[in-house]
Amino acid sequence: MVDEIHAIVNPVAEGGRAGRRWPAVAARLGTIAHTVRCHVTSGPGEATQSARDVLHAVVREVLSIGGDGTTNEIVNGFFHDSDAMAPEAVLSIMPLGTGTLGVKRKEAGGNVRVEPRDVVA
């Protein structure tokens, strides 16, 4: 069991789908982590700052819940002046955005989308 997971949630990703699904996701995460903390974004740049804040506080498990933009901001928060803030930190991605192009992959001749139910199993 993981000690603590910090989820950075963009509640408006994919037309609000991420926000609507968050309670069920949080409940499921509670079965694999002692503590689940949620950081809800309300505008551009907040995911980057939230990631920096939690990494600065020695958090090592960060979960991105949103689309490519949310994940991009969080990845940017993992770095400061091109240096990794916490090289041992783990970023997990729950793709709940409109495109989530970063988590689509080519397999067996077609596009396969990784669904949240496959990530939190």
Over residues 32-75, the pLDDT tens digits come to 889 999 999 999 999 999 999 999 998 889 999 998 899 999 99
Nearest to 57 by CA among 42, 72, 77: 77
**How far lies 114's CA from each of 96, 97, 103, in Å?**
10, 12, 7
Label residues 33-71 b or e (16+ Cβ within 10 Å = b): beebebbbbeeeebbbebbbebbeeebebbbbbbbbbbb
CATH number at residue 77: 3.40.50.10330
Nearest to 2 by CA among 25, 22, 28, 29: 29
pLDDT at 101: 52
Report the number of distinct structural domains present in the chain.
Answer: 1
Q: Which domain holds residue 23?
A: 2-119
**Amino acid (one-letter) located at 86:** A
Per-residue pLDDT band at 115 (split at 50, 70, 90)? very low
pTM of the model: 0.81
Backbone region of residue 108 per phi and psi (left: phi > 0; alpha: psi in -120 to 50; beta: other values): left
Measured distance CA(27)–CA(14) in Å, rounded: 21
